[in-house]
Structure 1
Amino acid sequence: MLRPRKFKELEKALGHRFKNQQLIAVALTHASMRGGKEQTSDNERLEFIGDRVLGLVIAEALSERFPSASEGELARRYNRLVRGEACARVARSIGLGSNLILSDSEAGSGGRAKGTILADAMEAILGAIFLDAGFEAARSVVRRLWGSNDDQHQTGASPDAKSALQEWAQGKGLALPEYIEVSRKGPDHAPRFISEVRISGCEPARGEGASKRSAEQAAARALLEREGVAGAEAHE
């Protein structure tokens, strides 16, 4: 049914070659494939396993890296690294979207770029690796692929609200955010910008900053907070 080397490039990006090719195929199969002409298994059960694998590996890595950190600090770092946006970023970095197995309607609506679909498939891949080769193999993949995200948050960098908003909009099947400069005031050496972010079907949100980019980030964060997406991360 499956060509043995069908997912060769993805396996190379993952750093894991599957002994059981059926596992990687199921991990990439979205629930939209249910009810087709052929009986198809989707990736939801593997996602359940992969979520637990990811959580354990990240918790272990943070505990080792920050031995003096409080439980609260560890929890904040943990949440940033296991949330859907982080999983979707990792998925994009390895080109997972082009390998997804979607229904024609889901693929036609931009499913390969949707953050929620990418995040779920990334967790399913981790579950598949765990079943294919055990925890050590899954741990190795997580530590390598999540390393750049870990480094970013170790330095205290704030979440990229614009990226998070774009992923949220894609996951909801909405148009991409559009940013409008509302005003610029103040002297040239200390300007203040006000930007507005607009998404069809949502009430616009505004933000202010010392640069156009920071104002756009503030606007994106305001919209995320209003929609209950950003949570505590936006205030840290």
Structure 2
Amino acid sequence: MKLASELKDFCERLGHQFSQPELLIEATTHSSLSSATRSDNQRLEFLGDRVLALVIAQALLNKDKEASEGLLAPRFNALVRKEACADVAVQIDLGSALKLGRSEMLSGGRKKIAILGDAMEAVIAAIYLDAGFDVAEEVILRLWGGRINAAKDDARDPKTTLQEWAQGQKMPPPKYVEIGRSGPDHAPIFEIEAQLSNGGSASASASSKRQAQQMAAAKLLEQVDT
């Protein structure tokens, strides 16, 4: 089976040539384009998530042999969460290799965090099935290497950090309120405000509510004494 030119170019950026190219085709096919004759990448995403988790967990243990589980857990979560996978996907321009349905393509699917993150996990699974764990591990460590080395002692996401801070201050959890929406229906921009019960607030805009919430939480954290 021959790969289309965009997938061949992607293999160069990925640093892996597939002996079973059908695995890469499946990994880059979004559910919006799946059919009776074309499988989407959801099953591979399920497997890739587990392969990534094992590699990152082992890498963190090897990097800091004295760290407690309490320190390792937030570092691990920061490295395997959807935003981190999407960031790596952007780094190797996975978006340009994705196969999307027309509506998803028109709505900016090649840049959506959820789609990119899921596809990155599916690609990891495809490598694992194509060449085994050692090769998958090598690719992950190469792509995530700088992030692993830079993992902070406190790598919790902003929403988690803000909630824990609020609890420490005997406050209820922060609220996240949609205060605005702009752009066309197929590619909306959400404006979210993070609110504390003491009156503190901060807002941010992004193409997904989840990302806007994280950005708003990060801005609000800058205003409080954590």
TM-score between both structures, scaled by the size of structure 1: 0.69
Contact 1:86-1:149 within 8 A present in 2 as well: no
Point out 4+ residue stretches in structure 1 off by more than 3 angstroms.
1-6, 154-161, 176-179, 198-202
Query: Post-superposition shift, 1:53?
Result: 0.5
SS where residue 197 of structure 1 aligns? strand
Counterparts in 2 of 1:77-226, with a 5 A limit?
Answer: 77-154=75-152, 174-175=188-189, 196-198=203-205, 219-221=216-218
**Amino acid corresponding to residue 218 of structure 2 in structure 1:** R
| CA 1:102–1:4: 2 relative to 1, 3 Å | closer
**Amino acid corresponding to residue 197 of structure 1 in structure 2:** A
Query: Post-superposition shift, 1:34?
Result: 2.7
| CA 1:60–1:24: 2 relative to 1, 3 Å | same
> What's the C-alpha RMSD, in Å, of the aligned pairs?
3.5
CA distances 1:142-196 after superposition (whole Å, capped 9, x unpaired): 00101122133247677688xxxxxxx9xx96416599xxxxxxxxxxxxxx964
SS where residue 218 of structure 2 aligns? helix
In structure 2, the partner of 1:27 is 27
In structure 2, the partner of 1:7 is 7
In structure 2, the partner of 1:210 is none
Contact 1:81-1:149 within 8 A present in 2 as well: yes
Q: Distance in 2 between matches of 1:24 and 1:199?
A: 30
Unaligned runs of 5+ in 2: 160-180, 194-200
**Amino acid corresponding to residue 116 of structure 1 in structure 2:** A
Query: Post-superposition shift, 1:15?
Result: 1.2
SS where residue 146 of structure 1 aligns? helix
Q: Distance in 1 between matches of 2:106 and 2:70?
A: 42
Unaligned runs of 5+ in 1: 162-168, 180-193, 207-215, 226-234
Identity percentage over the alignment? 45
Q: Distance in 2 between matches of 1:201 and 1:99?
A: 22
Contact 2:71-2:153 within 8 A present in 1 as well: no
**Amino acid corresponding to residue 97 of structure 1 in structure 2:** G
Q: Please, which of 56, 62, 69 is the counterpart of residue 64 of structure 1?
A: 62
TM-score between both structures, scaled by the size of structure 2: 0.71
CA distances 1:22-63 after superposition (whole Å, capped 9, x unpaired): 11010000011134xx62100011111111100000011000
In structure 1, the partner of 2:42 is 44
SS where residue 153 of structure 1 aligns? coil
Contact 1:4-1:21 within 8 A present in 2 as well: no
Q: Distance in 2 between matches of 1:11 and 1:128?
A: 12
